[in-house]
Amino acid sequence: MQNKLIGAAMIAAMATGALAGGTNLVTNGSFETPGPGFLLFQGWQNFGGGVFADASVEVPAQDGTTSVKMFGEFTGVQNDQVLIQTVPGISAGETYTLSAYAWHNDFDAVQPGNLVLLQMVFQNDSGGAIEAIEQVAIAPNSTPTNQWNLVELSGIAPPNTSQILVALLHLQLDGEATGATFWDNVKLIEGSTGGGCDNPADFNGDGVLNFFDIQAFLNAFQQGC
């Protein structure tokens, strides 16, 4: 009976989509709400002809049903695929943690000549850049394919910071390199996540409560003592 109660409580907690670390400051971070006209997603601005919405057709969404697909336009010169969101109400001196999930398929893996970045830019109230922090989200020939890979970076907001620009970037540096990037579940949290979720229901320790934690729990349960 106790094991059944534990399993039921775990599933209920995951159904809420809980995340350790506080409130997500990003609007529409899982890209579930479409935007009007040129804007693909509410709350985001997209630039480049290689940015698309994928409704769990090419890859299973990490959260919800929709993710973002990016790839170069093969123009022969550098072209940049960009998705950005400006988050206001940022406090100077506070730590902020930006995270996202990135995926590339084995049959269309990101190849050398592409640069895939998650970027956080601290800005003043006029939109001027004060400091930028970035992390490679998919490294050619090393980032695992056919799975969602968690990318995370943190930084302290410098003096005069009032907003953060969140950017997802797929840069086709040579204009010819093949490979497509998928993004999902972008979160900006005030404070540090401490390297993951300290919730005991976060069975695989990735900071998110979802089906994969249920799967890990059931595997452990079946193995027994």
Question: The tokens 């940049």 sit on which residue?
Answer: 80
Phi, psi of 87 (to 5 degrees): -110, 115
Has residue 79 got a pLDDT over 60? Answer: yes
CA distance 55 to 50: 16
Percent of the chain with pLDDT over 90: 75
CA distance 138 to 111: 10
What integer is the mean pLDDT of 101-113? 98
| Residue type at 32 in one-letter notation | E
CA distance 9 to 99: 26
16 — pLDDT class (breaks 50, 70, 90):
very low
What integer is the mean pLDDT of 127-147? 98
pLDDT digits (tens, 9 = 90+) for 189-214: 998 755 445 566 666 655 556 666 77
What are the domain boundaries of the chain? 21-190
> Quick one: CATH architecture of 21-190?
Sandwich (2.60)
CA distance 94 to 27: 20
Least confident range from 1-5, 52-56, 154-158, 206-210: namely: 1-5
25 — pLDDT class (breaks 50, 70, 90):
very high
pLDDT of residue 18: 41
pTM above 0.85, yes or no: no
Compute how many other C-beta atoms are within 10 angstroms of the C-beta atom of residue 50: 20
Residue 200: partners with Cβ closer than 8 Å, 6 or more residues away: none
pLDDT digits (tens, 9 = 90+) for 157-175: 999 999 999 999 999 999 9
22 — pLDDT class (breaks 50, 70, 90):
confident
pLDDT of residue 217: 75
